[in-house]
Amino acid sequence: MRREIYCSFFMFTADLRPDDTRYTKVLIEHLKALTDIGYDGFDLHIAAQPASVDHKLEVDSYLGLKKAFDKAGLKDAKFTTNVGTTRTFDPTSPYEEQRKEALSYLKSRVDITSVLGGESIMSGPFLYPYGAFPLTDNGDGIWSDALLDWMEPRYLAARSIFQELGEYAATKHVRLAIEPVKSWETPPPNMVSEVLDFLDGGERLPGGVTVDTAQVVMESQGPAVFKRNVARAAQQDRLLYVHISAPDRGAVHDSWIPWETILGEIEPVYQGPYLVEVFNAIPPFDSSMRMARRRFWRPGEDAPEPNRPSAYDVARAGLETLREQLARVGGA
């Protein structure tokens, strides 16, 4: 079976700016170029807007973006989305009204995913707000056992929200894949097992998990636990998305990804698409991830740098590398 491989638009932007018709033309050129390179689909980040912005207007703006893609000859392009929650839209909040606002926000992201990709996947750190580290009353950070204990009532508060969100997503044919992200970026869930424990705790919740190679390498307990987590997720039909990302979040080719260990466990039990995910040194990633490497220049956006790889070069090499690695473990 030929595996579908998608390309993350974190190579180019963290905000699609759907109302900006000039930028839409830039996006279309990137989509066409990456399709010619051989990608089967694309993962698009849906940027959060201020609480004052009407979610319906947001959904309508992405509907307009999808129509522009279709008109440009990209009607058959496949899309998944990357979504994060925020301090404002926090489904783990102890305050009921804030949790309701978070549910409305997340439902709008399901709608946007459906608009762009139809029967698709919404992935990302959308359980606990990304990067929102808790503090004590004295302004000190909360870590280790204290942090894990602090998270327990947050998980509990979010359960009814995720039950309703999952039921809503099912009506839109969108699968919810929570992505655990490493601890220096955000509080838990940081590991695949933590996402699975949340979904399985008490009455089982709908949805599943995204496995990201960078997160697994930098924030996991080792190959034995990884093997058990993959088997557990697959048996429960919760292994919904796999991101192929280098530990430094840069180029995938010639990176420190333990290909045989990871793909050897995933490939026999996984049916979905793979995502080549490269975070380019562009705002906000350059500062949020403290990037010291140079940017992969983006054709049509940055001045060409003949002696440096372009974003397209890195995307092409990543696709070729993943195809080679999948062939080695029996995929295609």
Single-letter amino acid code for the residue at 161 = I
- For the entire predicted model, the pTM comes to 0.96
pLDDT digit string, tens, across residues 155-186: 999 999 999 999 999 999 999 999 999 998 99
Going by C-beta distance under 8 Å and a sequence separation of 6 or more, which residues neighbour residue 128? 85, 90, 92, 151, 154, 158, 186, 187, 188, 189
Structural contact between residues 35 and 71, judged by C-beta atoms closer than 8 angstroms: no
Going by C-beta distance under 8 Å and a sequence separation of 6 or more, which residues neighbour residue 73? 32
Phi, psi of 107 (to 5 degrees): -65, -40
Task: Give the model's confidence band at 119: pLDDT under 50 very low, under 70 low, under 90 confident, else very high.
Answer: very high
Cα–Cα distances in Å, from 41 out to 34, 153, 194, 200, 318? 9, 38, 29, 30, 14
Q: How far apart are CA 32 and CA 157, in angstroms?
A: 43
Single-letter amino acid code for the residue at 228 = R
Task: Give the model's confidence band at 319: pLDDT under 50 very low, under 70 low, under 90 confident, else very high.
Answer: very high
pLDDT for the residue numbered 291: 87
pLDDT at 331 over 70: no
Q: With CA atoms as reference, report the closest residue to 279 among 9, 3, 6.
A: 9
Beta strands in 72-163 (DSSP E): 78-82, 120-124
Q: How far apart are CA 282 and CA 81, in angstroms?
A: 19
Angle ∠(245,251,256) on CA atoms, nearest 5: 65
- What's the token pair of residue 323? 């195809």
Residues counted in the chain: 332
User: Facing residues of 241 across strands?
Assistant: 210
pLDDT digit string, tens, across residues 198-247: 999 878 999 999 999 999 999 888 999 999 999 999 999 999 999 999 99
Q: With CA atoms as reference, report the closest residue to 150 among 131, 139, 134, 161.
A: 134
Q: What is the greatest pairwise CA distance in the chain?
A: 57
Q: Is the preceding peptide bond at 284 cis, omega within 30 degrees of 0? A: yes
